[in-house]
Structure formats: structure tokens, C-alpha cells
Chains A and B, each alone.
Chain A
Amino acid sequence: MTRPVLLMFAILLLIAAGLGFYAYHLKVKVASDEQRLAQQSQVVVPPASGPTTLVTLYVASDQDGGLRRSQVNVPFPQERSERARAVLRSLLTTYLQPDSQHPIGAGSDVRDVFLLGSDTAVVDTNLAFADSHPSGVLAEELTIASMVTTLNANDPQITRVKILVDGKERDTLAGHADLRRFYLASGIGQTLKDMP
């Protein structure tokens, strides 16, 4: 093999190595961007303004298979549907903590809460909430039960709850729990809450 041919091979190898390095660099950059975005979206913080109030959360535990009552201080808006949203976002924040007993997918959030009449709340969650929710009968039921029971505990007038995903009705949360129906606060959480 002549010297120019060897040179050409070397150049081709260098180009291949250079492209490989560039591709690796891009991959690392994309991964770090995704991680940064995920971390940003994990921070679901209720609005910082307004006076804080002690609210009641019914927090799910996968190991115990039930809901545990706890109280936290959160900024509490004046408007009723905003208050409902703030309470639910506070609940989801506990599930997004690294030491959560009931972890849910990164970026899960409540987009809006709409009140129909005095007793019905329609909770619009984001896509990440359903798409990345752990799949399982109990895991999904615990999430729904904790949301419904928490809403009712902080606004006893809310007795019926419907959950939407990205503004639309969905068959199930993550393959199991039915999302096409309205949930009664007196139904779903009663056997799960106030566990010892």
C-alpha cells in the first residue's frame, strides 16, 4: 500500500473519529439538557404570594397500601378553584420528593381545577402525570384517592371529582384505574384513609 493511500485511510479514520466524538458530545449535551428540564419540571411550587394556611393532605404509601393524614403550610389564594389547585400541587410535590412513599413521574402537575356548581371539581392534569405514572391497580387507585380525599378535606363542599389529562378524558390513568367516571369523596378514599 502506497503512502498516499495510507494517508487517505488515516484521514478517513480521523474524520470518523471526529464525527464520533461530535456525536458523543451531542448525546451528552442532550442528556444533560433533559435532566435539567426534568429537574426544573419537578419543582412544583405553589404560588409564592399570598398568606400561608395550614392545609390537610392525604398522602399515599405504596408499602402500607393506604393514605396517611398530614398537614403543611402552603400559600393559599383567595379564589376557590385556585385554592384547590394549590392544595393538589402541594400533594404532588410530596410525591415528587426523592424519599416519597408513593413516587410518581417527574414533571407531574395540575394544570387547572374547574369547579362545576358547588360540589364538583374537574382536575386537569398534565401529560407527564398520566404518561409517567407507575402502572398498577393499587398505585393508581392510591393517587386518585389521595387527590379526591385531599380536595374534600380542604373544601368539604367538593364531593365529586373528575380527572382529565391534558384537557381530555382518558380511559385509565396508567392502564388500570378508570378515569372516565366521576369519583365521590365518600367512596374512593374511605377504606384507605386514616390508616394507623
Chain B
Amino acid sequence: MRLSRLRAVTIAATLTAIALLGGAAHVLRHSTVQAQTSPSSQLSVYSPQTFYTIPLLNLNGQPYVGLVELLEPLGNVDARPEGKKYKLKFTPPGAHELEFQFQDGKDNGKVKGDKIKLPAMFAIQSGRGYVPLSSVSELLSRALSTQIRLSPTARRLFIGNVGERLTLDLRKGTPSKLFVSFDSAVNPTIATEPGHIRFTFRREPVIATVERENYTDPLITGASFSEHDGVAELDVMGTAPLMANFADGGKTIIVTATPPPPPPPPVAEVPVPQTNVVPPVAAPPKAPAGPRFLVLIDPAHGGTEIGSAISPTLPEKDVVLALARKVQHELANRGISAGLLRNSDIAITLDQRAISGNAARPAIYLALHAANSGKGVHVFTALLPVEAVTSRDFLPWETAQTAYLDLSGSVAGSVTAELEARKLPNATLAAPLRPMNNIAAPAIAIEIASPSGDVNDIASPAYLDQVAQSIAAGIAAVRRNIPEVRP
């Protein structure tokens, strides 16, 4: 009897231990799945005003989208997580403010006061709110009251009546030519391999009515259209190497056979080589591109490199990206085209920023930063290193900015004057800040701090709007003194 009781106790203890261990393992496994969020791919968003990409997070096997990242390029956003609750105020341009309400771990919420059920749980990660990708279409259609088309597998989202329709027209001849036409100019990435020429459209909302065309032609045998990973791809197949020419101002791409290489010159008597004689190399005919005035905006940091922690839930990288989009919008309102060096939460090294910045050949380079100390807006020009090497053949990497310092100073002065006009505290300084030194164009950096001393005010939409308007107005005022650049 005693033995059986002991056996029962032992069994009970073992079972309890197993139950405790099992419970602990379950809790650990659950928390591990929650914590192991990693970027899996990105969503391309096309709207009538802008194009942008958003990194997708894989939470518990499902792709999720950050609400702030999704809505910020489309209007003013004010997001505040309160414990497990998440409230986001969104104001589209020219429309009234509306509110999103969700709760971490719950699949129901509210948009504009109306209940909404998500296909999976809402999630808060590091103070950011995430919704399942498959819910984005309904959320946006309620928020923007417009037509939304989402292709979850292709990772492409179309807002409103955007869409670049692609048509194919094969004209047989010697050689045959495939005319690929669009409503407006396109700029795809082109790759060739034997029997294929592929066009990848990343920024253009290209769509096609048919997925595949087969031709009975000796040269061009077919074309297929596909969408994946946020891009559209057109693959033209042929029996010989193919090449592409652009026509109609970039609205038409003509695919045809690559001309055969010219026959080698007849081998004659080898002349005695003459020193110091270089045969002239004929440059391929190229349509000259006109000079243009482009402002390149470089929102600092990104990805794992968060920059300054403005608050525990607000990193510098988010503040500057929001400001960059506002500056781009304000410049567009003044008829100035502007590009963003990063338009999503990705990490870029300082050298990569300098390389991309110079390759874009901007008229003005503008770096944006934010700080959790100090007050107001600081406008910086480059403080160049001591060792300024001069060379007639090469532009020294560390001091590429030297020749542009005067123009950079003019831009800084103009922006400062606009800040002053809006009564925003400001100062102009020279700073040892990379990659400004490496930029071969007029370049300034702007660091915003709180206007009042309270760090929470730094991301207020009204403050960011004022700063963005000052920057854009300053650039517009000095535009006629800055030379346009041929791309």
C-alpha cells in the first residue's frame, strides 16, 4: 500500500515536472516565434503621387506591414502605442483626420470608429504597429475611400487609378521587331542572356492584360509577363541574341536582333607601331540628355542602424524618413524634382550613400538628421579634413566637396533665412559629417531637434511641416544660382 502510494507520488511528481516543462517550453516556443521577426521581402506601393517600398516582416509565418511605414507617404501620421493598445491618427492631404485603433494580440480593431476584423492578430514590435499584409487592401480603402488593388503574392499594391498598361505588337520583317508600348515613359532594368531579354520594372506600376504571348516568328518566339517580390518582369524570348532600343521618349521599347559584329578588318602587313599615337575611339551615338535640377534627399541611418534614440519608441531613422518625404512633397509643390536616397527602412553605409549620391548627379544634396538634445534646427556645411590634396586628374574622395563649398554655403544661408522667417530656432555651422565631404555637388546637412526642449515635440506633424516648408522654400529661392546638372 505504502509502496503504491510512493509510486503514485513519484508518477505525479514526474507528470507535474513534465507538465511544468511542457508549459515552459510552450511559452518559450511562442515567445521565440514572436521574437524571430525578420524581414522577408518588400511591398511596392504605387499611388498617383508617389512610389515607395515597405519592408515586410514575417510574424508567425505571415507577412506583416508596418502601419506607419504604409501610411506616412500618403499623409500626416501620428502614432502612439499605449501599452498593448495602439492608436494612429492619419490625415490624408485635403481630408479630415481619422483614427485607427488596434490592440496587440487581438484581431479586431476600429477604423474611423467602425469595427474591422483582421485576418490575423495585430502585433506591436518595438513600439511599432503591424497589420497582416492581406488586411492592407481593406484598411486603405476605408481610410482613403478609393480603389485599392493588392497582389499579395506579387507584393504589389496599387492605390487609386494607377497602372501602366503594357501592350505588345510584333512586326514581322528582316529582322522582326517587337514593339512594347506604355502610356508614359518607363525606365526598366534590362538583362540579357542567350535567347532572352528581360525587363524589370521596379518603380513603374506596369501591368499586363495577358501573361504570355507565343509568336510564330523565326526570331522572336514569345513574351511572358510576371510579377514577384514587388517588381514586374517582361521576358522576351528569341532564337538569336536580342537587344532593346527606346523610342517615343521612353514610351516604347523596340526589341530586335542584335546586329552581327562587323567583320574583322583584313589582316594586312603589320605596320611598325608608332608610339604616342592613340586611335580615336568612336563613341556610340547617344541621345543627349538635357541638364536638370534634382535635389537628392538622404534620410540618415536606416535598418539596424537606428541613429539617435529620440525616445524609447522613436528612433532617428523614422523621424528623418518622415521629414524627407515631407521635403520631397514640398519641393514638388514648388516645381522641383527630388529623389530619396532611401525610401524605406534599409541600412546604407556611408560609402554607399556617397557613391549613390554622386551617381545621381544632383544639383543639391541634402542629408537629414534628428537629435534628442539641443533645440531647433541646425544647418551644416562640410568641415573638410586637413589634408586637402589637389589633383588635376582626379577628384579626391575625402575632399570632393571642396569646389562646391561656396554654393553649399549659399544653400545653407537661404534655408536658414526661411527658418528665421518662420521663427524656428536655427544656426548654421560647419560639421565633420560624412558623406558630405565626398559629395561633388552643393551639399548641406540639416539636424532637427525639438522646437521646445521636449523631445516628444520633434515628430509633431506641424513642426515637421514647418521645417520641410523652410527647406523647400530655401532651395527654391536659391535655385537660379545653382547650375543644373546633366545626368
Tell me if B307 is interfacial: C-beta within 8 Å of chain A.
yes
Tell me if A136 is interfacial: C-beta within 8 Å of chain B.
yes
Q: Closest residue to A162 on the B side, CB-wise?
A: B386
Asked if A63 and B434 make an inter-chain contact with CB atoms under 8 angstroms apart, the answer reads no
Neighbouring A residues of B5 by C-beta, 8 Å: 2, 4
**CA of A62 to CA of B316 in the docked complex: distance in angstroms?**
17
Tell me if A121 is interfacial: C-beta within 8 Å of chain B.
no
Q: Closest residue to B367 on the A side, CB-wise?
A: A137
Given contacts A136-B373, A138-B378, A141-B432, contact A181 B385 (CB under 8 A): yes
Q: Closest residue to A135 on the B side, CB-wise?
A: B308
Tell me if B22 is interfacial: C-beta within 8 Å of chain A.
no
Asked if A4 and B8 make an inter-chain contact with CB atoms under 8 angstroms apart, the answer reads yes
Neighbouring B residues of A5 by C-beta, 8 Å: 8-9, 12
Asked if B429 and A8 make an inter-chain contact with CB atoms under 8 angstroms apart, the answer reads no
**CA of A187 to CA of B380 in the docked complex: distance in angstroms?**
14
Asked if B432 and A138 make an inter-chain contact with CB atoms under 8 angstroms apart, the answer reads no
Neighbouring B residues of A137 by C-beta, 8 Å: 369, 371, 378, 380, 431, 433, 445, 447
In the complex, what's the smallest C-beta–C-beta distance from A14 to chain B, in angstroms? 13
> What 0/1 pattern do residues 105 to 130 of B give for CB contact below 8 A with A?
00000000000000000000000000
Tell me if B375 is interfacial: C-beta within 8 Å of chain A.
yes
In the complex, what's the smallest C-beta–C-beta distance from B28 to chain A, in angstroms? 16
**CA of A66 to CA of B393 in the docked complex: distance in angstroms?**
39
- Interface-facing stretch out of A26-34, A41-49, A70-78, A171-179: A171-179
Asked if B307 and A175 make an inter-chain contact with CB atoms under 8 angstroms apart, the answer reads yes
Neighbouring B residues of A187 by C-beta, 8 Å: 383, 386, 430
Q: Closest residue to A160 on the B side, CB-wise?
A: B386
**CA of A65 to CA of B377 in the docked complex: distance in angstroms?**
11
Tell me if B372 is interfacial: C-beta within 8 Å of chain A.
yes
**CA of A175 to CA of B307 in the docked complex: distance in angstroms?**
7
Among A135, A182, A192, which residue has its beta carbon within 8 angstroms of that of B385? A182
Tell me if A188 is interfacial: C-beta within 8 Å of chain B.
yes
Neighbouring B residues of A4 by C-beta, 8 Å: 5-6, 8-9, 12
Asked if B12 and A176 make an inter-chain contact with CB atoms under 8 angstroms apart, the answer reads no
**CA of A100 to CA of B437 in the docked complex: distance in angstroms?**
32
Among B13, B20, B374, which residue has its beta carbon within 8 angstroms of that of A136? B374
Q: Closest residue to B426 on the A side, CB-wise?
A: A65
Neighbouring B residues of A177 by C-beta, 8 Å: 431-433
Asked if A178 and B432 make an inter-chain contact with CB atoms under 8 angstroms apart, the answer reads yes
- The total of chain B residues at the interface (CB under 8 A) is 41
**CA of A141 to CA of B6 in the docked complex: distance in angstroms?**
73
**CA of A187 to CA of B388 in the docked complex: distance in angstroms?**
13
Asked if B433 and A8 make an inter-chain contact with CB atoms under 8 angstroms apart, the answer reads no
In the complex, what's the smallest C-beta–C-beta distance from A138 to chain B, in angstroms? 5
Tell me if B34 is interfacial: C-beta within 8 Å of chain A.
no
Q: Closest residue to A174 on the B side, CB-wise?
A: B308
**CA of A2 to CA of B371 in the docked complex: distance in angstroms?**
64
Which residues in window 375-407 of B have CB below 8 A to A? Answer: 375, 378, 380, 383, 385-387, 398
In the complex, what's the smallest C-beta–C-beta distance from B182 to chain A, in angstroms? 42
Asked if A144 and B308 make an inter-chain contact with CB atoms under 8 angstroms apart, the answer reads no
Q: Closest residue to A16 on the B side, CB-wise?
A: B20
**CA of A192 to CA of B429 in the docked complex: distance in angstroms?**
8
Neighbouring A residues of B430 by C-beta, 8 Å: 187, 191
Neighbouring B residues of A183 by C-beta, 8 Å: 386, 432
Neighbouring A residues of B240 by C-beta, 8 Å: none
> What 0/1 pattern do residues 327 to 356 of B give for CB contact below 8 A with A?
000000000000000000000001000000
Q: Closest residue to B371 on the A side, CB-wise?
A: A136
Asked if A8 and B16 make an inter-chain contact with CB atoms under 8 angstroms apart, the answer reads yes
In the complex, what's the smallest C-beta–C-beta distance from A134 to chain B, in angstroms? 6
> What 0/1 pattern do residues 1 to 13 of A give for CB contact below 8 A with B?
0101101110010
In the complex, what's the smallest C-beta–C-beta distance from B372 to chain A, in angstroms? 7
Among B301, B380, B386, B453, which residue has its beta carbon within 8 angstroms of that of A181? B386
Residues of B within 8 A of A (CB): 5-6, 8-9, 12-13, 16-17, 20, 301, 305, 307-309, 316, 350, 369, 371-375, 378, 380, 383, 385-387, 398, 427, 429-434, 437, 445, 447, 449, 453
Additional A-B contact list (9), CB under 8 Å, known A181-B386, A187-B383: A4-B9, A8-B12, A12-B17, A65-B374, A139-B373, A171-B350, A175-B307, A178-B437, A188-B383
Residues of A within 8 A of B (CB): 2, 4-5, 7-9, 12, 62-63, 65, 134-139, 141, 144, 160, 171-172, 175-178, 181-184, 187-188, 191-192
Which 4 A-B pairs rank lowest in CB-CB distance, beginning with the nearest?
A136-B371, A135-B308, A181-B385, A4-B9
10 A-B pairs within 8 Å (CB atoms) are namely A5-B9, A8-B9, A62-B373, A63-B374, A65-B429, A135-B316, A137-B371, A137-B380, A138-B373, A188-B383
